Structure 1
């Protein structure tokens, strides 16, 4: 039975959007052992070859590709067979965030995992980081690969770009999968500067997320000076905060992301995704209602996703990913791959837990 989630319009206040996590989420716990193991392996991972050429060798049937679109050079990894499925990553990661689910998805689809404008091996122009422009990049890439239509799935920033793709190119969109971030809307403008008393620590636990980096990444010039050359400090904090199982993003993964973001120019470009949020909010006001099937998958952001996406999707299926932090495609890769495959292949989707 197909379950369509139609949720009443949410208020703009953050308190109405960032719902408490489900009771099954674990309380903050000691993570010294697991994290210490990852830190211990850091030197070895740094010395390993984490180039795109080396990474793609661990994914049989996939290859690296590059395309010039709208004056931007996009890097992508492609493999598999069948109808095209575009995967769009988020911050602070690259196409590699999908490496656990790409082989399974490639059994039924031609999988195209993209480094977005400003990410990884793609170019980092001075502007164009609003999600509408980034969606145009993806649309032009899809066309350049010879496809008229594709399904698009995104995580975090990539989820917002996927939504903008569906809104601006509905004729080129089969189905959408959004993970762990809705498209920016008015609710972002009311995010609190300070966390609630006693609700913030270095591990998410059962508290509402405190998204301090949304503000920090707005500052132009300063983050680059503070973090260039040691971005790993910030990345490890983010992974520790948002992962229930710290080993799900292991030493090699972290070396990949460190390499991708460790320069001032890479930090400048990735922060521009956040600096474009005010424009994204304006663009969102002009968007209509998505008519294609949309799957919203959420861990900590499930309540927020369900409320916000339901306002813009007429055909929404929403599922809570249990026992996972923000990086659901890495912590619960088998479940995510299976759910995506069922959603993308079956016109009569199985019932999903709302």
Structure 2
């Protein structure tokens, strides 16, 4: 199972344990599109693959994840191989377990990492499987790319001995990179998302759980509920961050601004925010089973009532991409 999917599964399990303490959601209000019917489409799998996972969705047509075989026991995917989809059709599948495909933008630029001479390197991956290393500092012992925006900015990590570095490869300056200072003793670190203005959100286990990092390298803690609380960010768009918070035995979906200030906690209808659409709607997990769309203080649609792992909401807010019953798929409002 991929790190990103594992993190989300664990978070979902934790929040699920608190559902009894959360009020049931309200009746669904008007849908985001008039006369809307949500129809499911199951995506193609490459020859020989039985199941798959979706790790990233560009909000329009492209998605990346893994495909492989059903494991003999347990969860996850056996013999996982990075896979790129275009509108649910397989464009490319890696021949081996690397390269890892971490993210893709609306132009189809795929980023991730691969192993060269026993060392991980941040790379871009062409639709035919061509791997191109991103520029690196010789002092780095490894690097990996985790997120790309539509401007072509790529964000990821580099290790330099005992030092962890947040790295941005700017889309408007090919062949260059910026090293951003990283707090010491960060512990677990997952780069969850990158917005069009170059802001990064990071999940950690270092006390607070979440940060928003601006393009200048300023790390801001995402506020939580109480001194002992923590935050888990999942999506960012235009400096608006969504995720969840916990503290004092209470859980809630949450929204922060670009300064890390807690704008609101959401306790009715939505228990975890995952993705933001182009009109500001939050897609996430509901107080009950399934995926909901939340906007302006209320649930505006509950397109999915089954166990669905959400990868993202489209820019036009009419498509929800993810995985259901171990099959990549999407629901489309039409």
TM-score (ref. length: structure 1): 0.29
Structure showing the higher helix proportion among its residues: 1
Relative contact order, higher structure (CA 8 A, sep 6+): 1
